[in-house]
């Protein structure tokens, strides 16, 4: 399972990739700045995982968005922050799906609900719970 810091920094990086779209590049992405913004210090192994996850997102963005949008009728109205939370959850799921129990996946879903609550609030955490829970099979 990913650490809280790894989840938050990866989420922030993926949000930047969504927000800046074609202008986003790993060459200009400042991982240290993102860590400082969220008061997180990642180990070198986790920093590498963030960069790997961003690359994975960039290479598979349409696939992730298609998977998530199957579970919502208002994809166009979904906030980019929530798209980033759910995309990050899918990337983590790809990493852990073969090595975790249903109970562990439920805990991970709750971690993403908390990120949605912290970042956006409103009804968005309920949306994250419903969609990420379905995608994680819990």
pLDDT digits (tens, 9 = 90+) for 79-117: 899 999 999 999 999 998 888 899 999 999 999 999 998
Model-level pTM? Answer: 0.89
- Residue closest to 112 by CA, chosen among 18, 11, 43, 21: 11
Q: Report d(CA 17, CA 114) in Å as an integer.
A: 21
**Domains of the chain, with CATH numbers?**
4-136 (1.10.940.10)
**Could you give the angle at which helices 4-20 and 102-119 cross, rounded to 10 degrees?**
50
């Amino acid at each position: 399972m990913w650490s809280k810091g790894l989840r938050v920094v990866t989420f922030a990086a993926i949000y930047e990739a969504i927000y800046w779209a074609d202008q986003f590049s790993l060459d200009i992405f400042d991982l240290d700045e993102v860590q400082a913004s969220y008061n997180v210090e990642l180990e070198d192994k986790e920093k590498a995982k963030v960069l790997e996850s961003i690359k994975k997102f960039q290479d598979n963005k349409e696939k992730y968005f298609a998977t998530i949008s199957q579970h919502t009728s208002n994809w166009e109205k979904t906030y980019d922050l929530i798209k980033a939370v759910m995309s990050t959850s899918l990337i983590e799921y790809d990493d852990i799906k073969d090595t975790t129990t249903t109970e562990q996946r439920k805990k991970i879903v709750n971690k993403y609900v908390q990120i949605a609550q912290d970042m956006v609030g409103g009804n968005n955490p309920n949306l994250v719970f419903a969609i990420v829970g379905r995608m994680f099979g819990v």
